[in-house]
Structure 1
Amino acid sequence: MRVAVLGATGLIGSAVVARLRADGHEVLGMARSVAGAAASRPDVRWLALDVARLSAVALAGHLAGMDAVVNCAGLLQDAPGESVRAIHETAAAALAQACLAAGVKRIVQISAIGLDSATPTAFSRTKRAGDAALLASGLDVVVLRPAVVVGRQAYGGSALFRGLAALPILPVVPGTGTLDIVQLDDLAETIAYFLRPGAPAGMVLDLPGPEHLAFADVIRLYRRWLGYRPAREVILPLAMASVLFRLGDLAGLFGWRPPMRTTILTEIRRGASGDPATWTRMTGIAPRSLSAALTAEPAGVQERWFATLYLLKPLVLITLALFWAVTGILSLGPALPAGHAILVEAGAGALALPLAVAGALADLAIGMGIALRKTARMALGAGLGLSLFYAASATLLAPHLWADPLGPLVKIVPIAMLHVVALALLRDR
């Protein structure tokens, strides 16, 4: 078969692409950015596009000749330039029209469990609306509604589980619902089943895992998998948890996609559970438990590194953004006379004041650039380059600063290395 996969570079989409290729299908992978995927999977035809901004007519042209579409596109929460309604609802309606126009009969839609009982967030409400639009199209639509999906790869919630498991203290939020963890491989196998000739369609199927776990239970299992002793558990009041998750919302305004946002907190409190009996009876797939899946693939040093560094990454970026921004503000304010004096001493003459101001503005711009996800890589590179430039210039013009007891030049070395670490940690998928 020729199958198009929307959202093909995400956690679920990339697993679906791999499974379909293993089954011998021709795959068209569609996502906003496909450069990395194209380099790693040259056996797949890739197309860079933003489905949320694509008309049904344009999408139909891309889907011409396809036998089926798997829609893995999804968004947790609104962010600058991104809308859950556009991704889940508007794009789903456009997909239905495009498939009708292109002659594509089968659509497998990846949704979320529990949408028939409660939709407390924009994520769940728009997911349900998108499902309804596809089911009303008259096409052979299968809506799969998994619970919490995890796999060998880590992104979003599955990454958060690992990061929290590496903490010496386990924060327990009271009042969270039951979570049924679903293995990514089981979901990919189910999608492959519904792409087979003669597979049923026109239906909604919940995909819950076989274990009913509390959020803290999931963290305990991951901590054991990582080889750590049980952590000390501390009750985190809901009010305090809400503040932490709202800080995640704030990061979202800067373009970052942290899993700790209020949508996740609300969905976790709602829970994601069900009975996998119908899933197994219909497909013959017996979903694996989280404990069994983790036992089957022991954690290595790379998993321990990831878990330990996952929650350190935002702290590193925040530290560097504040370092540059505060340095710039101080250099424009109370530290301006001192900076001016150093440049005069170095022989800058009449250019001393303009250079001091320009340096301060550059520091401030780098701090602001690191804070924004879109410009973070460029700003980190600029920060690294400017740090080395400061060190080289001072070495030529004021070498005695290397012997200063406060070490203004010596400190550039660890600061530069922290930029290198931040650049290494920047990619999140």
Structure 2
Amino acid sequence: MKILILGATGFIGSAILARLLAEGHTVTGLGRDPAKARQRFPGARWIAADLARLAKPEDFTPLLEGMDAIINCAGALQDGQADDLHATQQRAMIALYEEAKRRGSPLIVQVSARTEGAAAELPFLKTRRQADEALKASGLPHVILRPALVIGRNAHGGTALLRALAALPLIQPLVHAHQPVEAVAMEDVTKAVSMALSGDIRSGSDLGLASGETATLADLVALHRGWLGLPKARVMPLPAFIARPVSGMADLAGRLGWRSPLRSTAMAVMSEGVIGDGFLPTPFAFAPIARALAEKPSGVQDLWFARLYLLKPMAILVLSLFWLLSGLIPLLGPSVAAAHFAPFMSTYAAMSVVLLTCALDVALGLAVLYRPYARRALLGMLTVSLAYLGGGTLLEPGLWLDPLGPYVKVLPSLALTLATLAILDER
């Protein structure tokens, strides 16, 4: 079959793409930035496109040419710098359905979610529900799949947070620790998609996907802790209000382009647990989560990821603060800072250098907080730090022996910048 996958670079979309390629299908992946995906999956055809910009049926005309099926894995948790839920999850989908009807009605497999409950009226679930209802009313052949919390070999979003919580030392502070959480193995999600394409799941089906086990959040964290090879830790249940300031900061980070699983939408969903809609019969049995994890044992790289996951935002904040203070403190006494350059240039030139370098430091400290600029800001920090050390060594080498160590203190900053660059990727 010729298949188009929307959101093919995402957590679920990339796993579905890998399975369909292995099954011999001709697959086209759609994503906003598929450059890395081309390297990982050279057997697929890739198209760079932003669903939020595909507002009219004719925008989908070249994408649907010759397609037998469309799999929609695209979506986002919350509006933010890079995400417009109404445009991506509702408007683009309705335009897609209209064009699909004109293109011979290919099968549409929609990977959706449970859209009722405490968060039902938030944009994340409301726009999904509206798209699902429009698909059902369209007359197109379709299958809607509603996976519970998806657990896979890789991790992103909520599953990444599970691993990070599982790796905390000594105690595990958890909000909503005893809320029920249903989960499903990634292999079962990809299997359901494959069966929908083959007709083993009939058109018109609306299925919840979950292992059938209802655990608590604390149980899942403990399960992942064992998978990581760590000893048991004591759970410390925390009241829900503790999460509000954290969610507020995560929402702000979302406006800056960082997709944190701690945003307010995720907390609203977790307030009643992650539970299914009820399950229609499916032609296969779902794997227990413990077995699914055991079949793919963890390695040391998984432990590194889990331990570093919550340290990444801390590293970015520390670097931002370091560069902001480096730029702002000299402005409290610019003439003192300019005195270092007095033997080598005029007073005016020395003051200009101080002001320019302060402005550069502040700009880097702010830019690293904005996700689209973060990588360039980190590279800028490395470049500027090396330039400061090189220039300073030529002009005032004695500062290497200064009791306050102004040069020596730059070295840990360089190391932290390199480490942050190494863990910056989210997928």
Same fold (TM over 0.5): yes
SS in 2 for 1:213: strand
SS in 1 for 2:47: strand
Q: What does residue 234 of structure 2 align with?
A: 232
Rounded Cα–Cα distance in structure 1 between residues aligned with 2:424 and 2:277: 38
C-alpha contact 2:320 2:368 (8 A) present in aligned 1? yes
Q: How does 1:6-405 map to 2 (within 5 A)?
A: 6-54=6-54, 55-115=56-116, 119-168=120-169, 169-174=171-176, 177-197=179-199, 199-274=201-276, 278=280, 281-283=281-283, 285-332=284-331, 334-347=332-345, 349-405=347-403
Rounded Cα–Cα distance in structure 2 between residues aligned with 1:276 and 1:229: 35
C-alpha contact 2:160 2:306 (8 A) present in aligned 1? yes
**Letter of the aligned partner of 1:47 in structure 2?**
I
C-alpha contact 2:148 2:184 (8 A) present in aligned 1? yes
Rounded Cα–Cα distance in structure 2 between residues aligned with 1:257 and 1:314: 11
C-alpha contact 2:177 2:216 (8 A) present in aligned 1? no
Query: Aligned match of 1:414 in 412, 415, 426?
Result: 412
Distance apart, 1:100 and its partner CA: 1.2
SS in 2 for 1:180: strand
Rounded Cα–Cα distance in structure 1 between residues aligned with 2:75 and 2:163: 22
**1:5 matches 2:5:** yes
Alignment length (residue pairs)? 425
Rounded Cα–Cα distance in structure 2 between residues aligned with 1:253 and 1:102: 37
Rounded Cα–Cα distance in structure 2 between residues aligned with 1:120 and 1:180: 21
Deviations 1:35-63 (A, max 9, x none): 11112211101000011211210212211
**Letter of the aligned partner of 2:255 in structure 1?**
L
Q: Which runs of 5+ in 2 are unaligned?
A: none
**Letter of the aligned partner of 1:40 in structure 2?**
R
Rounded Cα–Cα distance in structure 2 between residues aligned with 1:39 and 1:91: 27
Distance apart, 1:232 and its partner CA: 2.8
**Letter of the aligned partner of 1:379 in structure 2?**
A
Distance apart, 1:342 and its partner CA: 1.1
Percent identity between the two aligned chains: 40
SS in 2 for 1:270: coil
Rounded Cα–Cα distance in structure 2 between residues aligned with 1:324 and 1:204: 52
**Letter of the aligned partner of 1:415 in structure 2?**
S
Deviations 1:148-181 (A, max 9, x none): 1120011111100001111122112247631111
Rounded Cα–Cα distance in structure 2 between residues aligned with 1:115 and 1:229: 37
C-alpha contact 2:176 2:217 (8 A) present in aligned 1? no
C-alpha contact 1:113 1:208 (8 A) present in aligned 2? no
Quickly say closer, same or farther: Cα 1:230–1:67, change in 2 above 3 A. same
Q: Which runs of 5+ in 1 are unaligned?
A: none
C-alpha contact 1:2 1:67 (8 A) present in aligned 2? yes
Distance apart, 1:105 and its partner CA: 2.2
Quickly say closer, same or farther: Cα 1:294–1:408, change in 2 above 3 A. same
Quickly say closer, same or farther: Cα 1:174–1:24, change in 2 above 3 A. closer
Rounded Cα–Cα distance in structure 2 between residues aligned with 1:348 and 1:226: 61
- Greater mean alpha carbon deviation, residues 120-129 or residues 153-162: 120-129
- Greater mean alpha carbon deviation, residues 209-218 or residues 371-380: 209-218
SS in 2 for 1:8: coil
